[in-house]
Structure 1
Amino acid sequence: MGKTTIAINVAGALNARGHNVLFVDLDPQGNATENLGMMDAYDDAPPSLFDCLTNPEQREKIHEIIRNHEEMDVVPSNIDMTAAEPELTLSRRSGEQLDLLLAEVEDDYDYIIVDCPPNLGNLMDNALFATQNVLIPALAESTSKRAFELLFDHVDALELDYEIDIHERGVVINRIDVRKNQAKQMVDWINTAFDDVPVWEIRERADVQKALDSGVSLLEYNPESDMCEVFLSIADGLDEQFEMVEVEA
């Protein structure tokens, strides 16, 4: 259970609070696309996210590639996205292409959730520049300390290069196995290190994976799960930070 699981369930929680959500799968691996039951889109012929992202003349076609899901609208990934990194390197304003693309649709949504690739690079730069906000996923493992260092060094460099401020909206610790001492120690360390932003804790639950296997968020699959309260708390925290209000059904 990693970043994609968090992204899908936060999007589901925002939907449960009445918000209109667009989910963008920017990861060339297409895990979110698969988890949302849209794997056919991954192999679709053009236009795809790759075309809309790398070719300015194709930007308006984003309206054609958005898929409807019961909890959110989705811009699926595509196998052609595996070539996006080098293609973006060759383009002018290489780190701004996603921002320019989302400008086509941003007025239609309350939130746009971008599921980033697991590695730092042009696609990550595009996501950070376009959103200028980050919800940080973390494992309850010691390896997360080094991952934090790499991420923050990258964010600092991007802020300097583009003269922007990227806001940390919170940390979501996942895969917490309370039976392991290392997990408990890491949770304590993260709570201490990030005492100026919210920290949410997601414990291991079989239903989280079962929900993804069913193509929906945990809130849709099993609203009685105790972890639904955590995802709803994340959505509530984001609403508070962005001064949004819950929409009555």
Structure 2
Amino acid sequence: MTEQAKICVSNQKGGVGKTTIAINVAGALNARGHDVLFVDLDPQGNATENLGMMEAYDEEPPSLFDCLTDPEQRAAIHEIVRPHEEMDVVPSNIDMTAAEPELTLARRSGEQLDLVLAELEDDYDYVIVDCPPNLGNLMDNALFATQNVLIPALAESTSKRAFELLFDHVDALELDYEIDIHERGVVVNRIDVRKNQAKEMVDWINRAFDDVPVWEIRERADVQKALDAGVSLLEFNPESDMCEVFLAIAEGLDAQFDTVEVEA
């Protein structure tokens, strides 16, 4: 891989399985032989808990909060990164609940994550950032730092409004910072094929996003069981049919970033 790829998994609508998608995509990229850094930017710390690192959520400084809000602490990111069997992890921390107001007061408030990740730019093939479920300074930091977005969504009508709000926000950020943020695909999550509305919404998403990949994840109990076990579905049950979809997402990202699968 010639250049580090950074992707944020983002949708300000809660309950779409954002963290589930982020962890499983990171696991699939690892399965394709890539070194992956997972950044839990959500103050709720769901990914941190799902990856078995809840003790890090309550640890004393330095934490990700300090790296983002104190320029002299950026290098402390090296102390914060934790190993996981499938990826390295920058855990969230309870102090992250104060990050939004702190970043509002900071100079270059939307660029702090980018400056922190620069400390690790030679260490990983992919950086996956799990965003909070709201529009704000942390979301801005994720979008600016990665300039690539993978969008999780549900197969229900409320997703249409969520897409509209997200794209309005992205457009404004692109204008403010004079950058281009690339949509790398949509992952329609927890599809119940028995429901007509779900089928109709999947069709609508495929038509609306005819210029980017759309992947479909069906409802499977093992997806949640894997998170409860602290790993991705590929590690928990490689025989699950949804593993093929997550691997297809990883392969699609490799194709977009012009990378190749490497021997794990």
User: Is TM more than 0.5 here?
Assistant: yes
Deviation track 1:89-128 (CA, whole Å, cap 9, x = no partner) reads 0000000000000000021000000000000000000000
Deviation track 1:124-161 (CA, whole Å, cap 9, x = no partner) reads 00000000000011111100000000000000000000
Distance in 2, matches of 1:170 and 1:106, equals 24
Could you tell me which runs of 5 or more consecutive residues in structure 2 were left unpaired when the two chains were aligned: 1-15
Q: Secondary structure at the match of 1:215?
A: coil
Q: Secondary structure at the match of 1:202?
A: strand
Residue 200 of structure 1 deviates from its aligned partner by 0.0
Could you tell me which runs of 5 or more consecutive residues in structure 1 were left unpaired when the two chains were aligned: none
Distance in 2, matches of 1:46 and 1:248, equals 37
Deviation track 1:13-58 (CA, whole Å, cap 9, x = no partner) reads 0000000000000000000000000000000000000001110000
1:81 maps to what in 2?
96
Higher relative contact order (CA 8 A, sep 6+): 2
Residue 11 of structure 1 deviates from its aligned partner by 0.1
Deviation track 1:64-95 (CA, whole Å, cap 9, x = no partner) reads 00000000000000000000000000000000
Q: Is the 8 A contact 1:44 1:78 kept in 2?
A: yes
Residue 6 of structure 1 deviates from its aligned partner by 0.1
Distance in 2, matches of 1:101 and 1:176, equals 36
Distance in 1, matches of 2:148 and 2:124, equals 16
Distance in 2, matches of 1:248 and 1:153, equals 40
Deviation track 1:181-205 (CA, whole Å, cap 9, x = no partner) reads 1101100000000000000000000
2:173 maps to what in 1?
158
Q: Is the 8 A contact 1:106 1:112 kept in 2?
A: no
Distance in 2, matches of 1:169 and 1:177, equals 24
Distance in 1, matches of 2:246 and 2:135, equals 26
Q: Secondary structure at the match of 1:195?
A: coil
Between the two proteins, the alignment pairs up a number of residues equal to: 249
Distance in 2, matches of 1:138 and 1:107, equals 32
Q: Secondary structure at the match of 1:103?
A: helix
Distance in 2, matches of 1:79 and 1:108, equals 26
Q: Equivalent pairs: percent with the same residue?
A: 90
Q: Is the 8 A contact 1:43 1:79 kept in 2?
A: yes
Residue 231 of structure 1 deviates from its aligned partner by 0.2
Residue 10 of structure 1 deviates from its aligned partner by 0.1
Q: Is the 8 A contact 1:7 1:114 kept in 2?
A: yes
1:39 maps to what in 2?
54
Runs of 4 or more, structure 1, over 6 Å off, are: none
Q: Secondary structure at the match of 1:164?
A: coil
Residue 248 of structure 1 deviates from its aligned partner by 1.3
1:50 maps to what in 2?
65
Q: Secondary structure at the match of 2:119?
A: coil
Distance in 2, matches of 1:248 and 1:71, equals 14
Q: Secondary structure at the match of 1:153?
A: helix
Distance in 1, matches of 2:242 and 2:65, equals 34
Distance in 1, matches of 2:237 and 2:146, equals 30
With normalisation by structure 1, the TM-score equals 0.99
**Alignment counterpart, residue 113 of structure 1, candidates 83, 104, 128:** 128
Q: Secondary structure at the match of 2:122?
A: helix
Q: Secondary structure at the match of 1:135?
A: strand
**Alignment counterpart, residue 228 of structure 1, candidates 243, 255, 259:** 243
2:32 maps to what in 1?
17
Distance in 2, matches of 1:137 and 1:95, equals 22
Distance in 2, matches of 1:106 and 1:223, equals 30
